[in-house]
Amino acid sequence: MPLQGNLRDFSTTQLLNLINLAGKTGTLSIFESIRSGEKDAIGAEKMVAGKERARVSFKMGKLISAILGGQDGNLVSVLNKAGKLSDEQARIIRERAKNTSDKALALLLINANYVTQRDVVSSIQQHTLDVVYNLLSWDEGPFRFEDNILPSSDRILVPIDLENVIIEGARRIKEIEQLTSHLPNLDMALKFPENPREKFKGIHLSVEEWRVVSFVNPKNTIRQIAKANNMSEVEIRRIVYGLEQAGLVELIKPPTPDGAVSGGMKRPTTRAPQVQRTVVTKLIDRIRNI
């Protein structure tokens, strides 16, 4: 079943997080919005998919390719954009190698000493990241994720870990409201997930992010961490958002001195009934027999 929705309800960052955590393989397409004239379940105008704006592919939870609509995204264009080929070189190669696949062309260019293998990999990687960082700022547009659909085999695919992309994407999110709505309560605390060492492997954190990470402890509220690091509410929200989306920390309620939980959640206001075990087993038997 394809995964579909609209970026206004489920953001690009959330999608990347889902694809990363679920280790998905497939292609995400984001489309232009066309007004349908109908309303959706929450009363917002329902948008239907128009022209494809971007196509991003993933293999086992890693980003492997990204193309914006209207761009060919082939190797010559990518190397030209990265400054590895001049405009004139790109024009000549396009003319002479019209029907050559990206992989074959890369070999030809490397053998002819136009570029190195490293140039090819880094240029493709940067192109892919530029596209994804661009679409991280999109807040509207129908999307569809199709499992197991991948780019054609003649393209060069460079796998990129999504955690770093998500963190960088979060760095670029400027909408304070979005951050505030995600993390309304700074009196929550942070804890590391299980196997933190595994998760932090290969992750590149900024100095500020490391400073926050060094204070991660269920006893420290986010507000206290911000104060200790002399950070504003926006700064701490942005950093926590990035770390949480990348699965590096989890939000929890800090313990109070009496051992009860605190935080933004309301304390339980109603009492659970005192019910005997036999009552529950009777209910189970009855429902089984309906």
Contact 223, 251 (CB under 8 A): no
Q: Are the C-beta atoms of 15 and 139 separated by less than 8 Å?
A: no
Residue 33 binds to another protein (criterion: CB under 8 A) = no
The reply on whether position 60 binds another protein by CB under 8 A is no
Map tokens 């196509």 to a residue: 55
Task: Say whether residue 148 binds another protein (CB under 8 A).
Answer: no
Residue span binding another protein (CB under 8 A) among the ranges 49-57, 113-121, 124-132, 282-290: 282-290
Instruction: By CB under 8 A, tell whether 98 contacts another protein.
Output: no
Q: What is the distance between the alpha carbons of residues 29 and 68, in angstroms, rounded to a whole number?
A: 10
**Residue 8 or 59: which CB sits closer to another protein?**
8
- Range in contact with another protein (rule: CB under 8 A) among 18-26, 76-84, 92-100, 166-174: 18-26
Burial class (CB in 10 A: 0-12, 13-18, 19+), 96: exposed
The Cα–Cα gap between 15 and 47 comes to: 18
Q: How many residues bind another protein (CB under 8 A)?
A: 42
Work out which of 18, 183, 208, 219 binds another protein, going by CB under 8 A.
18
Task: Output 144 or 211, the one with its CB closest to another protein.
Answer: 144
Q: Name the minimum Å distance from CB 132 to another protein.
A: 19
**Is 67 or 135 the residue whose CB approaches another protein more closely?**
135
Binder of another protein out of 13, 17, 57, 65 (CB under 8 A):
17
Residue 199: how many CB atoms within 10 A of its CB? 16
Residue 268 interacting with another protein (CB under 8 A): yes
Work out whether 259 is an interface residue with another protein (CB under 8 A): no
22 binds another protein (CB under 8 A): yes
Residue with tokens 């605190």: 262
- Residue-wise burial string across 30-67, b where 16 or more C-beta atoms lie within 10 A, e elsewhere: bbebeeeeeeeeeeeebbebeeebbbbbbbebbbbbbb
- Burial class from Cβ neighbours inside 10 Å (0-12, 13-18, 19+) for residue 145 reads buried
CB 137 to another protein: min, Å: 20
**Residues engaged in binding another protein (CB under 8 A):** 1-6, 8-10, 14, 17-18, 21-22, 38-44, 265-273, 275, 277, 279-284, 286-288, 290
